[in-house]
Amino acid sequence: MWSIIFVILMLVVFGKILKFAIKATWGIAKIVVSLVLLPLILVGLVLSGLIVLALPLLIVVGIISFVVLRD
């Protein structure tokens, strides 16, 4: 009986910790993509001569970030 209660409580506690870890990882991934990966991609596109793709991408990301940050 005690074993069943222990297992249930352990699943609840570690389930909450797992949920928190997934939220934290998602937040860190968004920061890395927006602050590191996107600027590197844009600089790489410009350096390789694909400014035709980099400029519209920069404009779209700018508009999206402006709309999202206003709310």
User: What are the tens digits of pLDDT across the range 2-32?
Assistant: 888 888 888 888 888 888 888 888 888 888 8
Question: Cα 33–59–25 angle (5° rounding)?
Answer: 15
Q: Dihedral angle at the C-alpha atoms of 32, 34, 71, 62, nearest 10 degrees?
A: 180
CA gyration radius for the chain?
21
Whole-model pTM: value is 0.55
Total number of domains constituting the chain:
1
Compute the average pLDDT of residues 21-44.
85
Query: Residue 42 belongs to what domain range?
Result: 2-70
